Amino acid sequence: MASTSQFDVAKLFGAKHLVAVVTGGIGLMATQALSANGARVYITGRRVEALENAAKTHQPSSGGGQIIPLGPCDVTKKEDLEKLVAEVGEKEKCINLLICNAGVSGPKAEPDGGDAEDLRAKLWDNESVDEWDDTFRGDVTSVYFTTVAFLPLLQAAVRPKGDQEPFAASVITISSMSGLMRHAQGHFSYNAAKGATIHLTKLMSSEFQKAGIRVNSIAPGYFPSEMTAKSSDDNQKSHVAPDKIQEKGHVPLQRAGREEEMGMTVLYLAKNQYVNGQIIAVDGGVLNVIAGS
């Protein structure tokens, strides 16, 4: 009888011995999925207390994984990124995975009519150039410079082609279904920035594959986070009630995404070495309802 041991779920999606660095909100879901399956995961962000609480609260009880909070980092600042890379480099010879998840929502101004004067007044008066700049800085520029900063530590994880061990260096950017749709949702700057993040992912995947580093993106739909729910509990978790999703009228599953569903996608992209330059929408079918790009 032929062996099927290579399809054992632990071999397919186990993260034992992987070292990851994760930034930002939905990053906690990724951190839990990776650490629960054996990875050593370093987390960073602007709020030290939140980082330490996340590590304490969600430390895996089995599987050999670990969540390690790092010092605070503003990923829009080169000097902070240099300190972050140095801090990780003192602890690890390489990293296998970088998840760029930090981001901001930007200003909101809903275009709700066809009168040009009204449109101009609403959009002109409720948005500023500085807010647009901040949105792109937080959602696009930071992704680029975070990835570039970690390139040497990522490449250090890449093994020669002849080795039995697979290539083991990749980046996952967290974009959004909003970057794939034509509906502005009142968030012109955010949707445009996430569209730029998606194209940046494709650019980096093409250029950085020369260094043996894969780059893919997850484009989430409505998942509970501080950005979508506007709050979180003592465990750094957020909740979005089903009726809030249902009232939107364009989510076929009629609920927000579950953290396990995000975790599945993270493990898939982290482990499947044959996937590069792809954008995976995890959106509950929204893009089947709203026109995409």
How far apart (Å, rounded) are the C-alpha atoms in residues 277 and 134? 26
User: Which residue is catalytic, options 42, 170, 176, 194?
Assistant: 194
Counted residue by residue, the chain has a size of: 293
Contact (Cβ atoms closer than 8 angstroms) between residue 193 and residue 135:
yes
Burial of 249 (0-12, 13-18, 19+ CB in 10 A): exposed
175 carries an active-site annotation: yes
Task: Determine the residue type at 35.
Answer: S
Distances (CA, A) of 216 to 1, 121, 204, 280: 37, 39, 9, 8
User: Which residue is catalytic, options 35, 142, 170, 175?
Assistant: 175
83 carries an active-site annotation: no
User: Which residue is catalytic, options 190, 217, 222, 225?
Assistant: 190
190 carries an active-site annotation: yes
Three-state SS string over the chain comes to: CCCCHHHCHHHHHCCCCCEEEEECCCHHHHHHHHHHCCCEEEEECCCHHHHHHHHHHHCCCCCCCEEEECCCCCCCCHHHHHHHHHHHHHHCCCCCEEEECCCCCCCCCCCCCCCHHHHHHHHHHHCCHHHHHHHHHHHHHHHHHHHHHHHHHHHCCCCCCCCCCCCCCEEEEECCHHHCECCCCCCHHHHHHHHHHHHHHHHHHHHHHHHCCEEEEEEECCCCCHHHHCCCCCCCCCCCCHHHHHCCCCCCCCCCCCHHHHHHHHHHHHHCCCCCCCEEEECCCHHHHCCEC
Active centre residues (catalytic):
175, 190, 194
